[in-house]
Structures are given as C-alpha cells and as structure tokens.
Amino acid sequence: MFTTNPFFYYGAVYSNKCASSSALKTKPAYLSEQQKLFVCQPSFAYYLPPSFGSSRVKETQLKRDFRKAGYLSLEEGIQAVVRKENLYAKGYWSDIYQSPSLPKYLIKHLLPIPRYPGEIGPKPPSTSFVQFLQPDFRKQSFGQPIAKIGIPQLGEFLILPKVSGLPSGIRYDKTALNPGVINESLDLTETYFYDARKDYNNHLIRVSSLPQDAYNQFSKQMINLNKQAYVIDATVNNILIDEAKEKINVVNLRKMEWAQKHLGYVENNLAHFIAGILDNSYVDRERRILREKQDTKETLPNYPVKLTPFGIQPLSSEEDPVAVKLRQKILYKILIAALWTDLPIPDIPFDGGRWHQIMDPEYSFKLSGMEGKWQEVRNWLLESHKKGKKQKEDTLQKINQLFRINIR
C-alpha cells in the first residue's frame, strides 16, 4: 500500500534533511561537483562509489586454480570440462560450460557456425595456442575473458571468471521460439512450460525485493560504461541478480561498434534497464507460444487460466495481475534510479534495433499496467535531466502521484 507521505514508497525511505557542510567535507575525494550538488537529495543516492563489477582475476591466479583442480595445463582443464554434463548455458555465438572442479570459472566454446543467422565463427586451429588477454578494465571484472585457448579439432575457447547471481529472467533455451534461437532440444511439455512460468514469477519477486540502492548502483554502472564505450547486451544471461549481496551484476559487455552492428544501439539507456530487468523477452515468447497452442487446440491443464467469452483460456504473464503488480514495483524503482543518476532517456519513436519491440518502453509500461503513460513520464524525466535538486524533487512527486493512482 502507498502512504500519503510522498517520500516513502516500496520500503525506500527518503530523507529531507540536508547534510551539513562539515559532513560534506569528510566525503571521499572522488565525489563529483554534481554529486555534491545533491547532498540534500534522498539519502539512498547521496554517494555512488565507483566500484562496479567484481575483482579482476590475474593470469597467475588462473594457472594456480587450474593446478589446484588437478590439471597440469589450461588445455587439459578445458578438455576435461567441455562435456555434455557440464553444459551451463547456450548463446547465439557460443556454448558455456562449468565444472564443480573449477567453480570460479566458465569455459566458453566459440562455435564455428554460430546460431546467429548469417554469422561465421572461428574455425578449429591447426595448432594449440594459449593467449592471455589484456583486461578491458584495470581493476574491475564484468566476466571478461582472461585467456583464449586454441585446441586442434576442438576449437577456440575463452576462460571467464564466474560472476555471482541468477539470470534476470528465463533463459532463451527454456522457451525459445524464434528462428535461429537455441531450440534444437526444446521440450515444451506441460510441466516444463509451467515451470518456466513459475520461475519467471519467482524472478519478479527476487528483483522487486532488491533495495533501491541496487537499482541506483546499476544505473550509475550503465552511465560509466557509456563513458568507456561499452554497451550492456541487456538479455537475461547477461544481467545477474545477486540476492545475497543485494546487487545487480552484468557480464558479457560489448564494445559500441560491435553493438551497433549486432544489436542496433550504441548506448546504455533507460529502455535497456527496464526491459532487461523485467525480462520482456520471456513475456513476448510466452504470449506467442500460448497463441500457437490455442490455434492447435492444445490444452495446458496445469497452467493459470482466465474466463473469457470464448471459454477458459490460459492466463499469460502479460495479463497476470500478480506479475503486473510486481512489474509495477520494479518499474518504479528503475525510474527513481534513472531520475537521481541522470540515466540517458531514449527517444520517441523508440529505435531499439534488433530487439525493437521488447525493448520499447511503451511495451514495458504496458506490461506494468501503465499503458500510454510512457511519453508523460519521459517528459518529466527530461525536464529534470541533469538539473538541480528542486526539479528532481518535483519529478519525484509526479512519479509518486502517478504510481499512487495506478497501483492499488
């Protein structure tokens, strides 16, 4: 329930009390002039430390960990790990493996023939090679590869540090439907499909329970990556929810020139934040799969249902009132984070490249029970973008009022 106090929503407590000038002087030296300006803003956004990602893994540590696991070389370890029983995830360009003997690492096999239409991957090398890669970031790790290994007849492999967290939604290999997506071993039996739906609801519960600070930090992270010319490929496998540490982590960063070619966008903005966290992709896939099943008169006895003039039909996540309410709660926290951190705001009409429909904020607002409200909210955010405390507080109250009206 919303209270009459506009500064208390979803468990995030805001403070109107300004820090004293003496307190400000004790803050870390990295504080920017803009951050100093907002010393009186809501307490959760006072200071956003520049410590994103996990600690970077060094070459010596990698070799030591492989030896501790009983492997004399990196090549020997890869050949032991890359087995069907160790398959961790599938992607467009690679298969990823993990073994209990190397819990801190993932092995990515670069596919000679990627699942991405029209692409060609690396051919297996004629001779073995080990190449240690220069880090993209000096101290932080976003799961970037540490080493590239070539093994004749097997192919090329990358060793990556494992970043903590669960995927931000339902992986494509669970409910794949699009041509070219990972669906060669797809099983859409009643139980399997229903489990994916339950997993999605559990994902929304996990994400909606994260504190506001987790959203603020992730928003700031997106802005910093923009400055360093890196884009987040905002899919469920690349955004990880770490409940234990109350963080949103990211892996598989893309350089902007790569993103422009394959994803169709060149910056991290609010649209990617919302769609990646809500997992609009799963909702869209589920809707189309349910339509297929209805067209073939296939029943789903264990699935949530709704009563329509045409009889009882499956209730999609798009319409499920529980999922809608959870998405509203998440959307609110994302908007507040975008407001206080000045996250870039996408244009209207939205151009989302390859993932245009599912990334469109109009679609995200619709899934959150607020259809038709995106343009109004966008205008509010733009009015206060990189402005002072007063403008941001005015926008905060407008957003609070909108959610008070739309959420019961």
Q: Where are the beta strands (DSSP E) in 85-229?
A: 87-90, 94-97, 105-110, 129-132, 140-141, 147-151, 155-161, 166-167
The verdict on 156 and 173 lying in the same domain is: no
**The pLDDT of residue 340 is above 70:** yes
| Residue 45 falls inside a structural domain | no
pLDDT of residue 234: 84
pLDDT of residue 135: 66
The verdict on 134 and 198 lying in the same domain is: no
Segment 171-182 mean pLDDT: 47
User: Which of 108, 137, 161 corresponds to the end of one domain?
Assistant: 161
The verdict on 374 and 275 lying in the same domain is: yes
| Residue 153 falls inside a structural domain | yes
**The pLDDT of residue 57 is above 60:** yes
How much is the pTM?
Answer: 0.77
Segment 270-278 mean pLDDT: 94
User: Which of 117, 135, 161 corresponds to the end of one domain?
Assistant: 161
The verdict on 260 and 392 lying in the same domain is: yes
Lowest mean pLDDT of 84-93, 122-131, 218-227, 331-340, name the range.
84-93
Q: What percent of the chain has pLDDT over 70?
A: 74
In sequence order, what are the beta bridge partners of 87? 97
The verdict on 115 and 180 lying in the same domain is: no
What is the dihedral angle through the alpha carbons of 83, 84, 89, 92, rounded to the nearest 10 degrees? 90
| Residue 12 falls inside a structural domain | no
The verdict on 316 and 200 lying in the same domain is: yes
pLDDT band at 93 (very low <50, low <70, confident <90, very high): confident
The verdict on 316 and 210 lying in the same domain is: yes
**The pLDDT of residue 10 is above 50:** no
The verdict on 243 and 362 lying in the same domain is: yes
**The pLDDT of residue 52 is above 80:** no
Q: How many CB atoms are closer than 10 A to CB 3?
A: 9
The verdict on 246 and 321 lying in the same domain is: yes
Segment 347-360 mean pLDDT: 74
User: Which of 161, 180, 202 corresponds to the end of one domain?
Assistant: 161
pLDDT band at 403 (very low <50, low <70, confident <90, very high): very high
The verdict on 247 and 309 lying in the same domain is: yes
Cβ atoms of 370 and 331 within 8 Å: the answer is yes
The verdict on 65 and 94 lying in the same domain is: yes
The verdict on 146 and 240 lying in the same domain is: no
- Distance, in Å, from the CA atom of 286 to the CA atom of 186, rounded to the nearest integer, reads 14
pLDDT of residue 286: 86
| Residue 14 falls inside a structural domain | no
The DSSP line for 356-376 is HHHH-HHHHHHHTT-TT-HHH
pLDDT of residue 123: 85
| Residue 293 falls inside a structural domain | yes
| Residue 375 falls inside a structural domain | yes
Closest by CA position to 41, among listed 337, 389, 383: 389
| Residue 258 falls inside a structural domain | yes
| Residue 5 falls inside a structural domain | no
Count of domains in the chain? Answer: 2
Q: Which domain holds residue 60?
A: 54-161
